[in-house]
């Protein structure tokens, strides 16, 4: 079997040095993504490890990856419904049916089983492929074009499975929202409708998101990297509590990335198809994100990302926000990322902070 060694690793390998390599199999060749420099054949502890640092771990939230956030760019008083969990948009309430509740339960169980399957994969299979799980917490606050603040806590539980050029992912979130009832959902799937509505505090299961991406071009052997994929947001959140719209959304997305030494550039182009709640017309729109990260060391990187998405509802506003992040690999298995964000429009939170922890088997 032939071995393909990326230039950033090959340039640091000395001739006649004992090296233990690992990587992924593509056709009849092996692409090296890690090289352990050993002092001798009986010393398995490496003196130094050379690796290709993966692209920054950027979880789908806010405008990133096709945000569903939107809020009114103007303050239009709306009659309060008197129900803390109702969605206020021209005095419209979303009332779930028994059939819809059963469908949401089935979707939740399916996604939960998928995450459990990711986490429960055998070590032998994890070596042939790659399995990881993660969680974190994000707190955002903003007035969303109104006069009162909405505070949101978003806690995702994430499972990933990579095999060959495929990456499959499922996210099951818990959310807590405190603010006017026209601000619906959390994280990447928040929607703010024109009007105010009664203030409420609700919590529970959020909208589950599943995605599948295929690596069309490998950045280690091609001029730039390219992933193409699809994402599905399942309407599993309780719309009667204002935790979601109760509808499914679908996205087509392309992710680009390129390394320039210690600097990595990345971008996203996508198009999202929104499910319309009763009486509410959400527009299907494109979205994009651009950013870069700088590797301070083999284990540490910092970066910035800017996200944009046009308005999805009449009277609303576009998403426009900037995120700064710090990523630290604690070991081969553990990685942590801290980030903060600031919004520049009425469709983004005014500010937010978050942490993500990732474990790779």
Give the tens place of pLDDT for each residue, 155-194. 999 999 999 899 999 999 999 999 888 788 887 778 877 7
Residue 205 sits in the same domain as residue 264: yes
Question: Which DSSP state fits 184?
Answer: E
The pLDDT of 203-207, averaged and rounded, is: 94
Residue 120 has pLDDT above 60, yes or no: no
Q: Per residue, what are the HEC states of 234-293?
A: ECCCCHHHCCCCCCCEEEEEEEEEEEECCEEEEEEEEEEECCCCCCCCCCCEEEEEEEEE
Residue 45 sits in the same domain as residue 135: no
Residue 256 sits in the same domain as residue 172: yes
Q: How confident is the model at residue 322 (pLDDT cuts 50, 70, 90)?
A: very high
Q: How confident is the model at residue 58 (pLDDT cuts 50, 70, 90)?
A: very low
Question: Which pLDDT does position 95 carry in this prediction?
Answer: 45
Residue 123 lies in a domain: yes
Residue 77 lies in a domain: no
CA distance 89 to 279: 8
Residue 58 lies in a domain: no
CA distance 242 to 181: 7
Residue 130 sits in the same domain as residue 189: yes
* Most confident region among 30-39, 47-56, 246-255 by mean pLDDT: 246-255
Residue 115 sits in the same domain as residue 12: no
Q: What are phi and psi of 166, to 5 degrees?
A: -95, 145
Residue 37 has pLDDT above 50, yes or no: yes
Residue 164 sits in the same domain as residue 265: yes
The pLDDT of 41-70, averaged and rounded, is: 50
- Which residues does 139 contact at the CB level (< 8 Å), separation at least 6? 151, 152, 153, 154, 352, 353, 354
Residue 42 sits in the same domain as residue 108: no
The pLDDT of 271-299, averaged and rounded, is: 93
- 45: Cα within 13 Å, side-chain hemisphere: 0
pTM comes to: 0.70
The pLDDT of 139-154, averaged and rounded, is: 91
CA distance 256 to 307: 14
Q: How confident is the model at residue 153 (pLDDT cuts 50, 70, 90)?
A: very high
- Is residue 314 within 8 Å of 287, Cβ to Cβ? no
Residue 226 sits in the same domain as residue 113: yes
Residue 226 sits in the same domain as residue 123: yes
Residue 343 sits in the same domain as residue 249: yes
Residue 297 vs residue 52, higher pLDDT: 297
| Segment 70-109, tens digit of pLDDT | 322 222 233 333 333 344 333 334 444 445 545 554 555 5
Tell me which residue range forms the domain holding 12: 2-51
| Segment 121-132, tens digit of pLDDT | 444 444 458 899
Residue 325 sits in the same domain as residue 177: yes
Residue 80 lies in a domain: no
Question: Which pLDDT does position 26 carry in this prediction?
Answer: 61
Q: Looking at 51, 70, 87, which one is the last position of a domain?
A: 51
The pLDDT of 323-336, averaged and rounded, is: 95
CATH number for the domain spanning 284: value is: 2.40.160.40
> For all residues of the chain together, what is the average pLDDT?
78
Residue 67 lies in a domain: no
Residue 311 sits in the same domain as residue 221: yes
**H or E stretch at 113:** helix 98-119
- For the chain, what is the domain count? 2
Q: What percent of the chain has pLDDT over 70?
A: 66
Residue 100 vs residue 38, higher pLDDT: 38
């Amino acid at each position: 079997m032939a071995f393909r060694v990326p230039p950033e690793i090959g340039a640091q390998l000395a001739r006649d040095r004992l090296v233990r390599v690992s990587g992924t199999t593509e056709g009849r060749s092996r692409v090296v993504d890690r090289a352990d420099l050993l002092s001798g054949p009986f010393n398995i502890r490496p003196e130094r490890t050379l690796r290709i640092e993966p692209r920054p771990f950027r979880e789908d939230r806010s405008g990133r990856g096709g945000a569903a956030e939107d809020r009114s760019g103007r303050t239009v008083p709306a009659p309060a419904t008197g129900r803390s969990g109702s969605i206020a948009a021209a005095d419209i309430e979303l009332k779930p049916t028994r059939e819809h509740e059963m469908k949401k339960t089935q979707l939740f169980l399916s996604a939960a089983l998928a995450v459990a399957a990711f986490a429960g994969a055998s070590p032998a299979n994890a070596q042939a492929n790659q399995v990881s799980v993660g969680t974190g917490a994000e707190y955002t606050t903003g007035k969303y074009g109104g006069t009162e603040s909405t505070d949101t806590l978003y806690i995702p539980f994430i499972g990933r499975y990579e095999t060959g050029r495929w990456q499959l992912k499922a996210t099951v979130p818990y959310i807590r929202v405190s603010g006017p009832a026209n601000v619906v959902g959390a994280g990447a799937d928040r929607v703010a409708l024109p009007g105010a509505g009664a203030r409420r505090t609700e919590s529970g299961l959020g909208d589950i998101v599943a995605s599948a991406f295929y690596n069309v071009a490998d950045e280690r052997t091609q001029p730039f990297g390219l992933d193409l994929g699809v994402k599905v947001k399942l309407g599993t959140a309780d719309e009667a509590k204002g935790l979601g719209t109760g509808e499914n959304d679908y996205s087509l997305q392309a992710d680009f990335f390129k390394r320039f030494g210690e600097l990595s550039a990345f971008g996203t182009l996508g198009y999202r198809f929104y499910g319309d709640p009763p009486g509410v017309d959400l527009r299907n729109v494109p979205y994009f994100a651009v950013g870069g990260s700088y590797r301070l060391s083999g284990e540490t990187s910092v970066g910035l990302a800017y996200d944009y998405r046009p308005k999805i509802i009449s009277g609303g506003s576009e998403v426009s926000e900037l995120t700064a992040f710090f990523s630290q690999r604690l070991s081969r298995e553990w990685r942590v990322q801290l980030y903060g964000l600031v919004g520049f429009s009425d469709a983004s939170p005014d500010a937010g902070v978050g942490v993500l922890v990732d474990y790779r088997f």
